[in-house]
Amino acid sequence: MKNISFLFILFTGFINAQQLSSDEISIINQGDTNSALPIYQTTDDHQHQTLLNLSTEINPLDPNTTTLVKRMKEALLSTNGGVGIAAPQVGINRKVIWVQRFDKEGNPLEYFINPVIIWRSELQNLGPEGDLSIPDFRDQFYRSKVIQLEYTDLKGEKHSEMVEGFTAVIFQHEIDHLFGILISDKKEKEKNDSYKQVEAYKKSDSTTR
């Protein structure tokens, strides 16, 4: 009985930790909830700090999560060539991303709740990246060619899949955002690293995430 009570307390604490704060709910529901949320920029000090903060898990069954997912998609669609977006880029430090699936027919946009990369290949891609939150910045970056991803949908169901090529690059870029990692900072850390280059990038240099 003591073990059951302890597990219940742990589960309750986990669920409570996922609950959105009043400030987060206010941002998610500001204005027309069918419209795009503004995309945060590094040129604004407050917004830049939000982009650098660590994101936490979100409750997929919370109605506000559904609104956030919908408005993030609208934000991505409002850009010129964006192929991915993460919740910190709309001011919410929670683990939600959208990715354009170039590995699927029709290149659909798909959302991912609490995504985690549980495995990365040692073989690296080298290719161009930009960022919707960093104006006038582009460079070449190394990314794992193949990743294994685990995530949840809005029904609370868990999924796992292997992703490779350019789509895997987008996933890695967006999940970096959830850890407060920006490509402008990442470049400095990569200077002394070396990788084997493979050609997996298929989009033009205008691609931003």
Q: Which residues are catalytically annotated?
A: 174
In 48-178, at which residue ranges do the beta strands (DSSP E only) sit?
A: 84-86, 96-100, 109-120, 124-130, 138-144, 146-152, 158-164
> Residues 65, 113: contact at Cβ < 8 Å?
yes
Q: Give the side-chain half-sphere CA count within 13 A for 93.
A: 15
d(CA 130, CA 138): 5
d(CA 200, CA 127): 8
